Amino acid sequence: METKPLVAVTGASSGIGEATARAFSAAGHPVLLMARRMDRMEALGLPNAVLRQVDVRDRDAIAAAVRDAEESFGPVDMMFANAGIARLADIGRQPPEEWDEMIDINTKGVMNTVHAVMNGMMARKRGTLVMMSSIAGRKVYPDHTVYCGTKYFVHAVSESLREYLSAYDVRVIVLSPGVIETEVLSGVLDEETLANYKNNKVKMGGGIGADIVGDLILNAYQLPQKALVQEICLTPTRQTY
């Protein structure tokens, strides 16, 4: 029986990261799960899984986790740079420390994650990078100012990487979800913004299940290496913004 290649996921302890880890594990892939909450990853009970407590702001920790997993299961064939945080608030009253956190995790963390696997993928002329952006990386919202900036960053970097890596047959997929049923709201500390978000979510009948997103990523990955889904933009049908 052919052994399937290793898949790595940051932010794997909940939400889309967890759902993606489950989808790839169910499809027979060994998985490297990275997140800050080790207990949540252990509770998943996935087979052929390497679990590492990693903060994506720590470049060396990501690289070490990748090395450990590759010793057991071979090269990472897909890296999902999923870890991120949403500190949404009116920019006029948002503490600058929240900007720092989003910029460090959502931009530098993404680059640290890519850096851990990109050269290996280029050398093998095979691999897939899945970059977590957002509908907020395609349009702006009044209470998402810095968050939107970090997600526009992901879009710009991904476009550049896609062009650069195409000559090496490495794929770059941008994931731009709208309202999904995840723990993203736990990062919103501004009460007025949080209330508005929840009200809008109710109006659209709730978010989409994270499992749907995980299955879409798996489907895009399973296409032949020469075929690339450049972006997955998924929203509830009733989401109009």
**For residues 144 and 187, what is the distance between their CA atoms, to the nearest angstrom?**
12
How many separate helices (H) and strands (E) can be counted in the chain?
Answer: 9, 9
- For the chain, list the strands marked E by DSSP: 6-10, 31-35, 49-53, 76-81, 127-132, 170-177, 180-181, 208-209, 231-234
**Signed CA dihedral, 77, 17, 210, 108: sign only:** negative
**For residues 41 and 30, what is the distance between their CA atoms, to the nearest angstrom?**
14
Q: Which two tokens stand for residue 66?
A: 């990748």
Contact between 131 and 173 (Cβ < 8 Å): yes
Residue 241: active-site member: no
Residue tagged active-site, from 141, 147, 152, 168: 147
- Return all residues near 56 (Cβ < 8 A) that are at least 6 apart: 10, 11, 34, 62, 81, 83, 105, 108, 109, 110, 112, 113
Element (H or E) spanning 59, and its range?
A: helix 59-73
Q: Which two tokens stand for residue 208?
A: 């989409």
Contact between 181 and 209 (Cβ < 8 Å): yes
What letter represents residue 64's amino acid?
A
Residues carrying an active site annotation = 147
